[in-house]
Amino acid sequence: MQLDFSTLEPLERYRWLASTITPRPIAWVSSQSSTGVSNLAPFSFFTVISDDPPTLMVNVNHRADGSLKDTLLNVQANGELVLQLVAFEQAEAMNASSAVLPYGISEFEQCGIASMPSQRIAPPRVAGAAVAFECRVVQIQAYPPAAPNCHLIFAEVLLAHIDERVLNEQGRIDPHKLDLVGRLGGMAYSRSQDTFEMRRPG
């Protein structure tokens, strides 16, 4: 089977990409409006792109009608966000926070998700998140340039919060304790606990 992406409609391109590039880590992004209203939303087009400086990237697609999502509006306004990773025990809450709410309505409050203050930035973070990265925006890039349908947010990590319950005896991440949720295609998700090890060649 071959797919000529130049002949596919955008929705079909998305479906093929989203169901094959898997599992994708989920960035549970908290941000804050210029009036101080907190926002929380998940994004699975997300990755680490650099360790020096420590930089993460999250892709925020435009809505179907072309309007900008609350997360993008907020980071454009104040340049700050928290990127949380999603543990299995928080999967339902994460899914609930993906609902489309009017701008100015907090998913934290609407979905009953507990928050706590960040230390370096204004947006709050998810209470109980195993990993949370407080970040400042270093660049927002509209893509594709000629007719943007999304924005790439490049965020430099200022401070990481790691729950000590997910650490091993050496103080490093134990992947079996971390138990993260990954995005597959359609409505399918995965868990990170099914692992195996291989040593790289010398």
Tell me what the pLDDT averaged over the chain comes to: 95
CATH assignment of 20-180? 2.30.110.10
In tens, the pLDDT along 25-63 reads 999 999 999 999 999 999 999 999 999 999 999 999 999
Local confidence band at 195 (pLDDT 50, 70, 90 cut-offs): confident
Classify each residue of 164-188 as buried b or exposed e, where b means 16 or more C-beta atoms within 10 Å of its C-beta: eebeeeeeeeeeeebbbbbbbeeee
Stretch 112-118: mean pLDDT, rounded?
97
The pLDDT value recorded for residue 32 is 97
| DSSP codes, 168-185 | -TTSSB-HHHH-BEEE-S
Stretch 95-101: mean pLDDT, rounded?
94
Peptide bond into 53 cis (omega under 30): yes
Stretch 13-27: mean pLDDT, rounded?
94
Q: What is the DSSP letter of 45?
A: S
Local confidence band at 97 (pLDDT 50, 70, 90 cut-offs): very high
In tens, the pLDDT along 150-192 reads 999 999 999 999 999 999 999 999 988 999 999 998 999 999 9
| DSSP codes, 110-162 | HTT--EE--SSSSS-EETT-SEEEEEEEEEEEEESSSS-SEEEEEEEEEEEEE
Stretch 57-77: mean pLDDT, rounded?
95
CA distances from 153 to 123, 161, 167 (A): 16, 21, 29
d(CA 158, CA 180): 22
Helix (H) or strand (E) holding 29, with range, is strand 27-32
pTM, two decimal places: 0.94
CB atoms under 10 Å from CB of 39, counted, come to 26
The candidate with the shortest Cα–Cα distance to 159, out of 136, 128, 129, is 136
Would you list the domain boundaries of the chain? 20-180
